[in-house]
Homo-oligomer: A and B are copies of this chain.
């Protein structure tokens, strides 16, 4: 049996975060010592590590909740786990795509190098450029020729 601090250090998770996980039901309510301090069995370390890894991979807590439920039933088919991971992979790939587009735009902004004044500043200019304000007010607003 270990205290919350030891558990946190072992798993690489901060103490308030563990209490938060208990609050939201991701970890079961811990046993308590005579002095009302939480005490965890070693098995909690695995569970918490599982959660940490999943968080590092960007899984939202709701998905982790599902994964934990699945992990508790090793005899059942694992399609659901595959699906969750697949969705996460798709989300990550989509985000990478978006960020690469942004990177390109930012790089162009910055690349123009040192200009004198804000008036000539490409950063400000690009951000203020109405032509980029594309999506919806091209139709009637008269901004587009």
Contact = CB atoms under 8 A, between A and B. Distances in A.
B129 A107 contact: no
Contact of A9 (B49, B57, B137): B137
A33 interface: no
Interface string A29-69: 00000000000000000100110111011100000000100
B92 A106 contact: yes
Looking at chain A's contact residues, is the secondary structure mostly helix, strand, loop, or mixed?
Answer: helix
A96 B25 CA distance: 32
Nearest to A107: B89
Contacts of A129: 53
Interface of A: 9-12, 46, 49-50, 52-54, 56-58, 67, 70-71, 73-79, 81-82, 84-86, 88-89, 92-93, 95-96, 99-100, 102-103, 105-107, 109-110, 114-121, 123-124, 126-130, 132-133, 135-137, 141
Copies of the polypeptide in the assembly: 2
Contacts of A88: 106
B121 A82 contact: yes
A115 to B, nearest CB: 6
Contacts of A132: 49, 53
B53 A133 contact: yes
A118 B53 contact: no
